[in-house]
Chain A
Amino acid sequence: NAGVTQTPKFHILKIGQSMTLQCTQDMNHNYMYWYRQDPGMGLKLIYYSVGAGITDKGEVPNGYNVSRSTTEDFPLRLELAAPSQTSVYFCASSSWSGTGTYSNQPQHFGDGTRLSIL
């Protein structure tokens, strides 16, 4: 039962470098999300996707980009990394956000990527 898998688990990046955080899910969920969580703070939504080919901005999208070419994968790209992007990044997925039977479907989280930018 893999669920949501994130790689890498830890990474140190230099200021100005770029990198891609990988996220894949094997539950055939159409919704996927990226959050960041700073120490002692709540989750903040960066980007989300309602299905392959469709992405939308969340609360804190600046400095990030996403793509959703398949149902399974939802990579998050950091361009020109800055110290303010030091955080723990969580990817999550959920099934159809409709009404009735499917409306009470929760999010499932990956175990996070701990990113430091120095």
Chain B
Amino acid sequence: RKEVEQDPGPFNVPEGATVAFNCTYSNSASQSFFWYRQDCRKEPKLLMSVYSSGNEDGRFTAQLNRASQYISLLIRDSKLRESATYLCVVKVNQFYFGTGTSLTVIP
């Protein structure tokens, strides 16, 4: 079983839509959780850490459900520039990356 699993998508949404990504992890001892963004042929960049109580950064909301072992990312009022692949990352003793969910925001 993979450490981290994500729906690869693609998610094609109109500009201004709300889109949600989910990610499940297998190790209940996981310590830290992150969402990264990766643009085509570029390096992954940290979007936000995910805290136990959930956290928000502008139009982005991240939530963690330890009981069900999943994390989520919600993007409200999506913008064209947010077309990218979103990677779920879980840290136990090392970092484990999901394969990413592709998002295309359509004009």
A69 contacts partner chain B, Cβ-Cβ < 8 Å = no
Q: How far is the CA of A97 from the CA of B97 in the complex (A)?
A: 16
Q: How far is the CA of A114 from the CA of B41 in the complex (A)?
A: 9
Q: A43 to B97, Cβ gap below 8 A?
A: yes
Stretch with Cβ within 8 A of A (4 or more), from B11-19, B20-28, B42-50, B72-80: B42-50
B20 → chain A, closest Cβ, in Å?
A: 20
Q: A42 to B41, Cβ gap below 8 A?
A: no
Task: Tally B residues with Cβ within 8 Å of A.
Answer: 22
**Interface band, chain A:** 20 to 34
Q: B34 to A97, Cβ gap below 8 A?
A: no
Q: Given A42-B98, A97-B91, decide whether A106 and B34 contact each other with a Cβ distance below 8 A.
A: yes
A73 contacts partner chain B, Cβ-Cβ < 8 Å = no
Q: A42 to B97, Cβ gap below 8 A?
A: yes
Q: Given A109-B43, A112-B42, decide whether A104 and B97 contact each other with a Cβ distance below 8 A.
A: no
Q: A103 to B42, Cβ gap below 8 A?
A: no
- For A42, the chain B residues whose CB sits under 8 A away are 87, 97-100
Picked from B32, B44, B87, B99, the residue with its CB within 8 Å of the CB of A104 is B32
Q: B43 to A107, Cβ gap below 8 A?
A: no
A108 → chain B, closest Cβ, in Å?
A: 7
From A42, A94, A108, name the one whose CB has the most chain B CB atoms within 10 angstroms: A42
Q: B residues 62-107 with Cβ under 8 Å of A?
A: 87, 89, 91, 93-95, 97-100
A118 → chain B, closest Cβ, in Å?
A: 19
